[in-house]
Chains A and B, each alone.
Chain A
Amino acid sequence: MDKRKKTNYVSVMTLMIFFAIITTFPYYWTLKTSLEVSSNVYKFPPDIIPNPATFKNYTVVWNQLGLVRYYLNSILLTSVGVVVNVFLAAMAAYPLARFNFYGKKIVFFLILLPLMLPFQGGLIVNYLTLRNMHLLNTYTGVILPLAVSAFGIFLFRQAYLGIPKDFEDAARIDGAGEFYIWLRIMTPLISPTISAFAILQAITWWDIFLWPLIVLSDSQKYPLAVALMYLNSTFQTNFKYTAAGMILATLPLIIAFLFMQRFFIKGLTAGGVKY
């Protein structure tokens, strides 16, 4: 019995380490490349450990190649995108959970509809709409079509539904306005759901690629994920710079993940069956 347990442990461990090597190796390889001195990444046979190692590529990509600019772009886009999405989803979800109004069922169905019908024509039509509104090549144009998340509304509605009615009634008797009740009393009560959704949105906006690629024509406005591809095609022979940029682009989310693992996982699995 004991022996069986031991072999079991060894095989589980082996399998887990095997998967871990597969998931982490590309990061190691990128990190290694980013520390190289020689610009020939395809040296054959390759060095497994960079020798000699240097951080110079990081300063080059940050200052000379202007990664700092794309970094700031991404920070701006992510913070506005998250705040707008949380605010609007909470605003739309609130009456759906707490009010008994005419047309509620239809409104709720309409909000769920885009979740059930994955329509692919949106990119084209939204591009044309933004063009007519003269919002192409602006961050407003990037954010606006993605400002209201049907999934977020759904998530927040479920959360608002769970609040006992007493909270609302007490505030109403005290003469608080509806907007005040929503923003200052009810919304703080669903903060765990809000942080989960905010984190999910932060990942989405930090990693966003296709839509800004379409809307933004000025490469100076690119967010990180688009800029990296742009940098890679501009400095095709200097992979070590792109590699340094990739590490810098990935670092914030990995650090955030290490600190907020619990919320991250809640956010990403929130779409699962629990709700």
Chain B
Amino acid sequence: MAKNFHRGLRIKQTIIAYIFLAIPAIILGIFTYYPMILGVVLSFFRYDFINPMKMVGFSNYAKVFGNWQFLNAMKNSFLYLLVVPPLQLLSIIMAILVNRQMKGINVFRTLYFIPVITSMTVVALSWNWMFAQKGILNYILMGLHFTSQPIGWLTDPKIALFSIMFVTMWKGLGYYMMIYLAGLQSIPFNLIEAAMIDGAKPAQVFWKITLPLLKPYAMFCSVVSTIAALNVFTEIYVMTGGGPYHSTETMGVLIYEKAFENLKFGYSSALAVILSLVLIVATMMNLKFFKEGGVQSYYG
């Protein structure tokens, strides 16, 4: 009797639950799960909008791997990972700096944070002016006699990618700083106090207590910034459009260009599948690097 009652209740709850879930599930199904499947399927086809879809097997992938533009974009995307370590290091330093009781500390936190809420278009355009041949940056450097010729921040193929990386870093610092700050503030003070009473020096406290306790935060920041670096698009699209001479063309830019400028949807899907695989491997490597905690503490 009681068992039947519980079962009846559960069936009733199931019906209500799926009524609640219906609309979100339909939208997620069409715009999140379906693209995951069809994106992979599409990568085996040739499709350009005008002509009917044509199955081409692995030929998109075969084309990709010998292609200089792909190899170049892949190289640039991997190179972009160079933003991750300095970004994390600097944001930890900033978090430590602003993690103190002091008059006006909120002003500094706010100033560091404003780039985070500014749109990437605005950020990229204003750095474009500062990076210009006759921009303020060259003016300052030439005034201080660091260089006699203006530097082609965005026009020199050897430098352009690094200039944009700097902008990515500049915009991201405040975000990671806030996460590390939340981490620092979650460390119970009596833990540090106890170590101090036991005679630990401030440096020891930092290396042996603070830093290990920041580990889950560092893992989160590292995973997020790695994915963001490999996916980078907007700042490059606005600042250089991938040039000069493809020197700033990353995978994100190439996928966009192939799909929405050349209308090669199948080929572009193959690129997207490859980038996704890279992202998955990179995420797993990150989690492995930080070992304990794993996905569990990342999401739940």
Interface residues of A (CB under 8 A from B): 12, 15-16, 19-20, 22-24, 26-27, 29-30, 33, 41-46, 88-89, 91-92, 94-95, 99-104, 107, 110-112, 114-129, 144-148, 150, 153-154, 178, 182, 203, 206-207, 209-210, 214, 224-226, 228-229, 232, 239, 242-243, 246, 249-250, 253-254, 257-258, 261, 264-265, 268-269, 271-275
A residues within 8 A CB of B252? 120
B residues within 8 A CB of A265? 113, 178, 182
Known A92-B25, A154-B299; judge A122-B31 contact (CB<8 A). yes
Q: Is the CB of A182 within 8 A of B20?
A: yes
Interface residues of B (CB under 8 A from A): 10-11, 13-14, 16-18, 20-21, 23-25, 27-28, 30-36, 38-40, 42-43, 93-94, 97-98, 100, 106, 108, 110-123, 125-127, 129-130, 132-136, 139, 143, 170, 173-175, 178-179, 182-183, 186, 216-217, 219-220, 224, 227, 231, 233-234, 237-238, 252, 255-256, 259-260, 265, 268-269, 272-273, 275-276, 279-280, 283, 295, 297-300
Known A23-B111, A26-B123, A121-B272; judge A88-B129 contact (CB<8 A). no
Please name the residue on chain A nearest to B36 by beta carbon: A119
Known A118-B283, A254-B117; judge A20-B299 contact (CB<8 A). no
Partner of A88 from the list B24, B36, B38, B110 (CB cut-off 8 Å) is B24
Known A20-B112, A101-B10, A118-B227; judge A46-B136 contact (CB<8 A). yes
Please name the residue on chain A nearest to B27 by beta carbon: A148
A residues within 8 A CB of B265? 124, 128
Partner of B259 from the list A30, A44, A45, A123 (CB cut-off 8 Å) is A123
B residues within 8 A CB of A214? 260
Shortest 9 CB-CB contacts between residues of A and residues of B: A121-B39, A207-B119, A95-B17, A125-B35, A92-B24, A145-B31, A101-B17, A120-B272, A101-B14
B residues within 8 A CB of A95? 13, 16-18, 20-21
Q: Is the CB of A91 within 8 A of B217?
A: no
Complex Cα–Cα for A250 and B279 (A) = 32
A residues within 8 A CB of B233? 210
CB distance from B109 to the nearest CB of A (A): 8
Complex Cα–Cα for A15 and B97 (A) = 8
Known A118-B227, A124-B39, A273-B217; judge A206-B119 contact (CB<8 A). yes
Give the number of A-B contacts (CB < 8 Å): 269
Complex Cα–Cα for A46 and B133 (A) = 12
Q: Is the CB of B125 within 8 A of A115?
A: no
Partner of A209 from the list B24, B38, B121, B175 (CB cut-off 8 Å) is B121
Q: Is the CB of B178 within 8 A of A268?
A: yes
Please name the residue on chain B nearest to A227 by beta carbon: B121
Complex Cα–Cα for A116 and B174 (A) = 24
Complex Cα–Cα for A94 and B11 (A) = 17
CB distance from B12 to the nearest CB of A (A): 9
Partner of B20 from the list A92, A103, A226, A275 (CB cut-off 8 Å) is A92
B residues within 8 A CB of A41? 129
Partner of B121 from the list A144, A225, A261, A268 (CB cut-off 8 Å) is A225
B residues within 8 A CB of A12? 97, 100
Partner of A45 from the list B14, B139, B216, B272 (CB cut-off 8 Å) is B139
Known A232-B125, A246-B125; judge A126-B35 contact (CB<8 A). yes
Q: Is the CB of B178 within 8 A of A269?
A: yes
Q: Is the CB of B122 within 8 A of A250?
A: yes
Most chain B Cβ neighbours within 10 Å, of A24, A119, A121 = A121
Q: Is the CB of B31 within 8 A of A100?
A: no
Q: Is the CB of A16 within 8 A of B299?
A: no
Q: Is the CB of A121 within 8 A of B269?
A: yes
Q: Is the CB of B120 within 8 A of A88?
A: no
Known A44-B139, A119-B36; judge A88-B23 contact (CB<8 A). yes
A residues within 8 A CB of B231? 118, 120
Complex Cα–Cα for A123 and B129 (A) = 30
Most chain A Cβ neighbours within 10 Å, of B11, B32, B111, B122 = B122
Known A29-B130, A124-B39, A124-B268; judge A119-B122 contact (CB<8 A). no
Known A101-B17, A110-B33, A272-B183; judge A26-B130 contact (CB<8 A). yes
Known A16-B108, A118-B231; judge A148-B28 contact (CB<8 A). yes
Complex Cα–Cα for A108 and B20 (A) = 14
Complex Cα–Cα for A147 and B219 (A) = 28
Please name the residue on chain A nearest to B214 by beta carbon: A273
A residues within 8 A CB of B179? 269, 272
List 11 interface pairs A-B (beta carbons < 8 Å), by A numbering: A91-B23, A99-B13, A102-B11, A110-B28, A117-B36, A147-B27, A207-B120, A210-B237, A243-B126, A264-B117, A274-B186
Known A99-B16, A209-B234; judge A44-B182 contact (CB<8 A). no
A residues within 8 A CB of B16? 95, 99, 101, 178
Please name the residue on chain A nearest to B280 by beta carbon: A117
